[in-house]
Amino acid sequence: MYELKRLSSRTNLVDALERAKHYRDLNQPEEAESICRDVLDVEPEHAGALKTLGLALTDQFPRAWRDLFDEAQRVFARLPSAFERVYYDGVAWERLGKAQLDARQTANAAHAFEHALARYGEALAIDPDATDPVLRWNRCVRVLQKHPDLMTAVEAPHPSVPGFGHYE
């Protein structure tokens, strides 16, 4: 039976993580996922590998979100920074919403976008000057505006987030 081989040095970890990012750029998230698992086998709390693994899992949501969403959340929860834990959890919810929208699960998609907006608001509460949560927030709002059926699926408006108010 074949056994996995282990990376042997920290230099290998840096090189491997760069390759994982490259595979994500090439839209080959399974390759990136495998590489990140190799890095985490050597250094289980490697923040860059955790972040890239979580993103590689979310890259696969369009075809396998049911299997991967919980794992992506668990991976992002291991990030060392409170800001990153909250922000990347928002990314997972946003990508789940997009996958559910594509699957025509309108109510579930609306729910996922609501969670994403809440998480981006929390990230901004941690770091009010951060750019990424603002950009992601705005993208979610634009998706909601583009798909009015999502808005009708939301039973109550999302609570206002300091600095933003309602997204309508």
Look at residue 79 and tell me if it is in a domain: yes
Look at residue 150 and tell me if it is in a domain: yes
Specify whether 145 is located in the same domain as 103.
Answer: yes
Specify whether 74 is located in the same domain as 143.
Answer: yes
- Report the pLDDT value the prediction gives residue 151, as an integer from 0 to 100: 78
Specify whether 79 is located in the same domain as 51.
Answer: no
Look at residue 40 and tell me if it is in a domain: yes
- Report the pLDDT value the prediction gives residue 70, as an integer from 0 to 100: 96
Flag whether pLDDT at 167 surpasses 70: no
Specify whether 21 is located in the same domain as 101.
Answer: no
3-state secondary structure 103-118: CCCHHHHHHHHHHHHH
- Report the pLDDT value the prediction gives residue 160, as an integer from 0 to 100: 42
Specify whether 42 is located in the same domain as 97.
Answer: no
Specify whether 36 is located in the same domain as 74.
Answer: no
List CB contacts of 110: < 8 A, sequence separation 6 or more: 97, 144, 150, 151, 153, 154
Strand, coil or helix: 147: coil
What residue numbers bound the domain in which 53 lies?
9-59
Q: Provide, rounded to the nearest whole percent, the portion of the chain with pLDDT above 90.
A: 81
What is the number of domains present in the chain? 2
What's the whole-number mean pLDDT along residues 2-15? Answer: 88
Last residue of a domain, one of 41, 59, 77: 59
Specify whether 143 is located in the same domain as 78.
Answer: yes
